Amino acid sequence: MHKTSASPLALAYGALIVYASLYPFSPWRDQGLPPWAFLLAPLPRYWTGFDVTINVLGYMPLGALLALSVLRACARHPVLLPLLLGMLLSLAMETLQSYLPERVPSREDLLFNTVGAGLGACATLLLDRMGLVRRWSRLRARWFVEQSRGGMVLLATWPLALMFPASVPFGLGQVLVRVHDALALELSETPWREWFPLHDIGLRPLAPGMESLCVCLGLLIPCLLGYCVVRSLHRRVPLVLLTLAVGVAATALSAALSWGPSHAWAWLGMPALLGMLLALFLALLLAWIPWRAAAALLLLALGVYLGLLNQAPTSPYFAQTLQAWEQGRFIRFHGLAQWLGWLWPYATLLYVVSQIGRAESKN
């Protein structure tokens, strides 16, 4: 039997809401007001359509996923339960924001978040009444193997991970510099500093050939992940084409958001183009292999990919772009995109290892 992917997706999305709502997580302090004071505050003098829209849209996916989880569990109240859970989560976030001076709790945010969760649940219920949920279930049964929800969740979140700017196109999991800087800061005044190589880690720019290889692996990895969960050859080929199209679109959108619409394709230089063509050729060539071989190649590709990518430094211009995301107009999307971009390859690594271990335990 297939387990629904909606439950882990709802859990992951709820965690990202928590992150985005409480960022930057400091300084926590009692401001001398009851945490529920925002519920009795006067009406705001100014309203912006952007704030209303982002609060409604931000909770709609949560409500939709929760409603789908309820429907798959054959439980009652597929709208009421997501509405209630969305309201409780929003109430908890607004209450905790009372202890963060940089965040402003709002009764109106609570209201619109709840409306968003309810609208998302209603949308799922409408799709179910139209028979689209059952059609998806039959489609999934034909396309995907059993116990595939972990791989499906990873494939669904891969385009979102690409939204955070990357120093190399399709380059996810570049955490070495950040970990190095965080450790250097934390251990700078302790005797443990001498135990770790926290001096200059000697990063050097990637040669064009290595950049093409990173681009190739960045596209090949989700294709190989798909081969671990998709049943047959004639369904793997459309998966490859869809993966390439979605990856290119997400990368172009990220570039447009970061540097402006006129620079949406600035990343598509010769190294990136060669890497994409090589990834397409290899993915189609390997479409016939069984899932165990795909899993083994995926582990090998992840090792090479993360090793190369974490040797690449970031330019000052790229660092300025990250600052714009993390502190400027993209702060609302900071948690979602950044953490997915950092952790997606490592989550994929853990998933593939667990699937191989589960298969070996059955033999």
Write the DSSP string, 86-150.
HHHHHHHHHHHHTT-TTS---HHHHHHHHHHHHHHHHHHHHHHHTTHHHHHHHHHHHHB-SS-HH
Provide the residue ranges of all domains of the chain, joining segments of one domain with +: 6-143, 156-362
More confident of the two residues 91 and 7:
91
The model's confidence at residue 1, banded by pLDDT at 50, 70 and 90, is very low
Give the per-residue pLDDT at 331: 45
Q: Is the pTM of this model over 0.85?
A: no
CA angle 183-186-97, nearest 5°? 110
Q: Which of 30, 27, 36, 39 is nearest to 95 (CA)?
A: 36
The model's confidence at residue 229, banded by pLDDT at 50, 70 and 90, is confident
Give the per-residue pLDDT at 294: 92
The model's confidence at residue 324, banded by pLDDT at 50, 70 and 90, is low
Angle between helical axes of 334-362 and 291-309 (0-180°, round to 10): 140
Q: What is the pLDDT of residues 45-79, one digit of tens each?
A: 666 666 788 888 889 999 999 998 888 777 778 88
Please, what is the average pLDDT of the chain? Answer: 81
Contact assessment for residue 221 and residue 305, using Cβ atoms and an 8 Å cutoff:
yes
Cα gap 258→264, rounded to integer Å: 9
Looking up tokens 């494939």, which residue turns up?
A: 155
Q: What is the mean pLDDT of residues 5-34?
A: 80
Joined tokens for residue 234? 């004639």
The torsion angle over the Cα atoms of residues 35, 37, 38 and 44, rounded to 10 degrees, is: -150
